[in-house]
Amino acid sequence: MASVPHYIADNFLPEAVHRRLLTHVLGVRDFRPGKIIANGQTSYCPESRKGQLSDDRLGEHLPAFRSALRAAFGEICAAVGVPPFDLANIEIRLAAHGDGDFFSPHRDSFVGNDRTAANRDRIVTAVYYLHRQPRLFKGGELRIFPFDNSQPLLVEPSDNRLVAFPSFVMHEVLPVSVPDGAFANSRFSVRCWYDRDLPKIVS
């Protein structure tokens, strides 16, 4: 058993809400190559990350999705070993991983100048998966690395599943295969971060 504190909820959204959200996501057209942030710079780095991101914020489905994330906040914090904190924001970003896409090992928490520029701390990462049925892609598992030398945790990107873990934990997206190459058959996810304001410095 991997020693990674984590949370998994299958059937996270009511089925009717899930179906409407999936229909919305399949209609999004502004996906573009994802970038990475390092040392204050945002850049395209295909040797580390291949995938698509969208600025779409889930349209009319956003309130219901945010409400579900907020409702699960306490349970998630307890499961991942993070003390409850004042929630400043929930970041939400839509992603798609198609044929050959992946995301090499990384952490979601900001450090150094990137943390100061963001003016917030990412405390907990949550990823919600949704895709067509039957699933027509292969791979794309989320691999979360433990704090010790035990086996990493592998999480299947199952439809209507939410997984959460501390944002400072190393993790990666394993390569995805979409045999027919159709973008609509990609591994879609909504990436979320529970944020805390930076601590105020008292002089």
Q: What is the mean pLDDT of each run of 10 residues along the chain (203 residues)?
A: 84 97 97 85 90 96 97 98 95 98 94 71 97 97 92 97 97 98 98 91 56
Residue 116 confidence (pLDDT): 61
By the 8 A CB rule, do 136 and 179 touch? Answer: yes
Note the maximum CA span of the chain: 60
Residue 1 confidence (pLDDT): 46
Residue 56 confidence (pLDDT): 96
Residue 106 confidence (pLDDT): 95
Residue 118 confidence (pLDDT): 63
Residue 150 confidence (pLDDT): 87
Taking only the tens place, the pLDDT of each residue in 63-109 is 999 999 999 999 999 999 999 899 999 999 999 999 999 999 999 99
The domains located in the chain, with CATH, are: 7-197 (2.60.120.620)
Q: Cα-flanking dihedrals φ and ψ of residue 65, to 5°? A: -70, -45
> Rounded to two decimals, what is the model's pTM?
0.94
- Strands 32-33 and 52-54, how do they pair? antiparallel
